């Protein structure tokens, strides 16, 4: 009996040590996935706007901080791994993000330049589970707001199509919003959304009209619109000789950037729930599907935003008053010399004095507007006539 007890004690101690060892390994891995870096960045002081230059300098420093952290990881791995594995790991580690940072030194380097030094924690893990990092990313993206519109059909309801304006039938919308808001995302008020819609436009958006969804989002102040469909159906399944009613749901959505109309993420998921009541079971099935979908969609949106702040974001530059195609080409070729961080300029259209350019740059629309405001580029005087979170509208002013 004593031998049996001792064996049991040894077994329990062994299990405890194994558990303790696994916890330590997880802590070590977590620590290794976080790098503390110190980096400096600069921002241009334009027309005495030191505050904006400081923001630019912080962004520049944070981008360099991520690059430095990735460089340290790659360098350490080259000592022990072969070429193929290094290449794979470089690819997998490009999702590094700023968890948090502090400004440790700052000041004007000259009349035109502001310099900031930051100490930052760069983490190589899953961003969607890090609330501090999401908050930091939100600030860097100027706290974008989302809007959600889901067409929902539950076969337990009366026959006929579901209408968006019917009350108390927004299970999918609520489930998605709850999941996102738990991680710090902001949404526009649904009552405000519905107030700006008529039934015809709502139906068009829910059928996939990206242009209308984008337009509505801009009207209500949302930078991203999540729209799609949720469908719940019921079947009878047999298990162990007994029949049971079960409801299955499928939810498909896409996230649209309102300023450009670009689809930045898509996702779909299924959920099931057994219940004798079709409506109650369908509701639960939709909720389960939305829980799965929200996790995937959130990851894709955050990855896109992280790419925007680290590698450059796509902005729309709308140009009015273009006198000729030659003048437009001259303006396009000169832009990289006047806008710091601009890496690409693509012309989307030009018609009767109006042009749309798509530019990729490190910074946001305010940065682009400030760097162009009041400038004379190759004899072309630039006037800013409008901005939004992802676009800038300028006008060519004829020389007097």
- CA 131: distance to chain centroid? 14
Q: Which residues contact 208 (CB under 8 A, 6 or more apart)?
A: 227
Task: Give the pair of three-digit tokens for residue 313.
Answer: 């974001």
- Residue range(s) defining the domain that contains residue 266: 145-300
* Mean pLDDT of the region 42-50: 78
Per-residue confidence (pLDDT) for residue 156, from 0 to 100: 55
Quick one: what percent of the chain has pLDDT higher than 90? Answer: 18
Is 329 in the same domain as 274? no
Contact call for residues 65 and 39 (beta carbons, < 8 A)? yes
Is 108 in the same domain as 169? no
Q: Which residues contact 102 (CB under 8 A, 6 or more apart)?
A: 118, 119, 120
Is 335 in the same domain as 269? no
Of 300, 332, 367, the residue that ends a domain is 300
For residue 68, the surrounding DSSP H or E stretch is helix 50-77
Residue 59: CATH number of its domain:
3.30.1660.40
Residue 277: CATH number of its domain:
3.40.50
Grouping H, G, I as helix, E, B as strand and the rest as coil, residue 33 is coil
Contact call for residues 377 and 338 (beta carbons, < 8 A)? yes
Number of folded domains in the chain? 3
Is 117 in the same domain as 175? no
Contact call for residues 114 and 108 (beta carbons, < 8 A)? yes
> For the packed helices 278-311 and 171-181, what is the interaxial angle rounded to 10 degrees?
40
Per-residue confidence (pLDDT) for residue 240, from 0 to 100: 65
Contact call for residues 69 and 96 (beta carbons, < 8 A)? yes
Is 267 in the same domain as 374? no
pLDDT of 182 strictly over 80: yes
* Mean pLDDT of the region 264-268: 93
pLDDT of 369 strictly over 80: yes
Q: Is 99 part of a structural domain of the chain?
A: yes
For residue 139, the surrounding DSSP H or E stretch is helix 131-140
- pTM, two decimal places: 0.63
211 vs 260: CA distance, rounded Å: 9
Q: Is 152 part of a structural domain of the chain?
A: yes
């Amino acid at each position: 009996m004593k031998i049996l007890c001792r064996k049991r004690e040894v077994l329990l101690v062994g299990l405890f040590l194994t558990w303790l060892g696994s916890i330590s390994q997880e802590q070590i891995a977590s620590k290794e996935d976080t790098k503390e870096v110190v980096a400096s960045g600069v921002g241009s002081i334009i027309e005495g706007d030191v505050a904006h230059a400081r923001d630019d300098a912080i962004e520049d420093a944070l981008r360099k901080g991520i690059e430095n952290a990735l460089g340290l990881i790659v360098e350490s791995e080259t000592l022990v791994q072969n070429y193929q594995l290094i290449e794979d790991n470089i690819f997998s580690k490009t999702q590094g993000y700023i968890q948090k940072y502090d400004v440790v030194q700052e000041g004007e380097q000259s009349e035109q330049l502001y310099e900031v030094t930051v100490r930052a924690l760069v983490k190589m893990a899953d961003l969607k589970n890090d609330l501090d990092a999401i908050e930091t990313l939100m600030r860097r993206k100027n706290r974008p707001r989302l809007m959600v519109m889901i067409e929902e059909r539950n076969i337990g309801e009366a026959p006929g199509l579901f209408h968006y304006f019917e009350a108390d039938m927004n299970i999918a919308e609520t489930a998605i919003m709850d999941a996102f808001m738990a991680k710090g995302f902001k949404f526009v008020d649904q009552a405000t959304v519905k107030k700006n819609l008529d039934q015809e436009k709502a139906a068009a958006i829910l059928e996939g009209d990206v242009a209308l969804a984008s337009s509505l989002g801009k009207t209500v102040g949302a930078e991203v619109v999540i729209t799609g469909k949720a469908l719940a159906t019921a079947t009878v399944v047999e298990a162990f000789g007994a029949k049971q009613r079960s409801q299955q749901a499928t939810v498909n959505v896409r996230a649209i950037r309102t300023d450009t109309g670009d689809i930045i993420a898509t996702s779909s998921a299924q959920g099931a729930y057994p219940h004798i009541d079709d409506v109650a079971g369908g509701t639960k099935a939709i909720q389960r599907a939305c829980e799965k979908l929200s996790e995937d969609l959130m990851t894709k949106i955050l990855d896109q935003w992280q790419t925007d702040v680290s590698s450059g974001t796509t902005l729309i530059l709308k140009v009015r008053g273009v006198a000729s195609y030659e003048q437009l080409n001259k303006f396009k070729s000169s832009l990289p010399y006047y806008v710091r961080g601009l890496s690409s300029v693509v012309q989307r259209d030009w018609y009767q004095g109006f042009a749309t350019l798509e530019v990729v740059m490190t910074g946001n629309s305010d940065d682009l507007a400030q760097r162009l405001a009041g400038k004379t580029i190759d004899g072309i005087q630039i006037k800013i006539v409008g901005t939004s979170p992802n676009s800038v509208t300028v006008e060519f002013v004829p020389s007097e």
